[in-house]
Amino acid sequence: MAEMSLDDVRNYLKTNQTIIFPYGVVEQHGHHLPLSTDIHNAEMLSELIAEGLGCMIAPTLNYCFSGGMLPGTINVKPNHFSAVVTDIMESLTVQGFRNIIIVPGHGGSESLENLRESLRIAKWMNPYLHQTNIFLITFEDYSPLAHHAVFEDHDFHSGKLETSMMLAYRPDLVHMEKIAMDPPEVAERLREDPDSYQARVFRTKMPEEIATTSQRADVNVGVMGHPEDADAEFGKAVLQEVRENLIPALKEALNL
């Protein structure tokens, strides 16, 4: 879409009202992956879906909420991020798009949960959106390999899955020789509980108190998985599963 003209978009909308909206985050991904990893995640998956559906891709939104505080990470509060995405959904609908597929490149629970609820309420309160199909896709649901990696192997962040996908899509940005981990006890804790990078402090014993949250001082790399096991073939296999499972599901849903 970013490279199209006004006339191009007008002509497109005459026959196709489907668009993909990718978003990522600028966030540290250890020493071996770039800060833009989650942006590339969103773009590679969006290109795959667009090819399968024959539809356009909106420009990627590069910012949302990470929660991490290591250098290179840029945080946008979940409520601000969700408000921007909701505005974009409304703008696309006003133009004439009726099928909007949101593709997250970042799996942060805070952003996903806030966005999902914000979109639900936006559709509730804005009758103009009632006839617009909005999908918030999590690709792990359409790849058994990715689902197993995340939920069984606890490969959450900068590990085998993300590194393999980058090796398959942007190998020029991957530096396997620079793989580094936090001390073993910290790395294992992060694999068991990805939110354990957070330190939550309470000043009172009242259960209603809102915690003061910061990043734990013992987390200096933040890799949550096993990047040393990554290879491009695994990344390609994950993308192929998404292609085989997600595209037919979307075509059926949209009667394409």
CB 25 within 8 A of CB 62: yes
AA identity, residue 158: S
In sequence order, what are the residues at sequence separation of 6 or more whose Cβ sits closer than 8 angstroms to the Cβ of residue 209? 202, 203
What confidence tens digit (pLDDT) does each residue in 77-86 have?
A: 999 999 999 9
CA dist 157 and 92 (Å) reads 31
CA 100 to chain centre: 16
What confidence tens digit (pLDDT) does each residue in 101-141 have?
A: 999 999 888 999 999 999 999 999 999 999 999 999 999 99
**CA 44 → CA 50, 86, 154, 206, 237, distances in Å?**
10, 23, 23, 46, 14
What confidence tens digit (pLDDT) does each residue in 70-108 have?
A: 999 999 999 999 999 999 999 999 999 999 999 999 988
Q: What's the pLDDT at 108? A: 86
CA dist 140 and 151 (Å) reads 9
Share of the chain above pLDDT 90, in %: 98
Q: What's the pLDDT at 256? A: 85
Residue-range domain boundaries for the chain: 6-254
What confidence tens digit (pLDDT) does each residue in 146-171 have?
A: 999 999 999 999 999 999 999 999 99
CA dist 34 and 97 (Å) reads 33
Q: What's the pLDDT at 211? A: 96
Average pLDDT over residues 142-147: 97
Specify the pTM: 0.95
CA-nearest of 103, 87, 90 to 55 is: 103
- 212 has pLDDT over 90: yes
- 229 has pLDDT over 90: yes
Q: What's the pLDDT at 136? A: 97
| H-type alpha helices, the chain | 6-13, 37-53, 78-95, 109-125, 144-151, 160-169, 184-192, 232-254
Q: What's the pLDDT at 186? A: 97
Q: What totals of helices (H) and strands (E) does the chain contain, helices first?
A: 8, 6
CA-nearest of 38, 118, 22, 121 to 77 is: 118
What would the CATH number be for the domain defined by 6-254? 3.40.50.10310
Query: In which element (H, E) is residue 136 found?
Result: strand 133-136
What confidence tens digit (pLDDT) does each residue in 1-41 have?
A: 999 999 999 999 999 999 999 999 999 999 999 999 999 99
Mean pLDDT, the chain, integer: 96
